[in-house]
Amino acid sequence: MIYGVQTLFGTINVVLFNNYKKYCKFLAKHGKSAQALDYYADGETECWADEDNNVWCVVLTVPSDKTNSHNALLCHEAVHCAQFIFKNFGEDNPGCEEEAYLVQAIAQSLFMGDDDLRKKKPSN
């Protein structure tokens, strides 16, 4: 499911996956390719702006016993999304509150996506 985050930069499309094959398929549909996950990685984020300048933040989390806190991982990936957005829009020195609100909005979308994935069958 795609979650639209309304920001000063416009709508940011946030998508969460917990299945590598579905993640790769989604990226391929948008002309992107996934990186090979490092053995120690519990997540990955791919961000881009399309030809209409819509921002996409696509996140993969890998279920693992190595991760102490899944919510902390979602916040970690939200920061990567925010870093991309600031860089993409030429904001080299965002204000503390601007940065915090953007990370909060993206993390909230990831939490909603995670809740939706948990409600579905384990094959998601």
- Domain positions in the chain: 2-119
In this structure, the dihedral spanned by the alpha carbons of residues 39, 45, 46 and 49, taken in order and rounded to 10 degrees, is -170
In the three-class reduction of DSSP (H, G, I as helix; E, B as strand; rest coil), residue 109 is classed as helix
- The average pLDDT across 19-44 equals 85
Report pLDDT digits (tens) over 5-25: 887 777 899 999 999 899 999
pLDDT at 25: 94
pLDDT at 16: 96
Long-range contacts of 87-95 (CB under 8 A, 24+ apart): 88/47, 88/49, 88/55, 89/9
pLDDT grade for 88, boundaries at 50, 70 and 90: confident
pLDDT grade for 101, boundaries at 50, 70 and 90: very high
- Residue 48, by phi and psi: left (phi above 0), alpha (psi -120 to 50) or beta? beta
- The average pLDDT across 57-85 equals 85
Strands 10-17 and 2-7: antiparallel
Report pLDDT digits (tens) over 41-64: 788 999 999 888 789 999 999 876
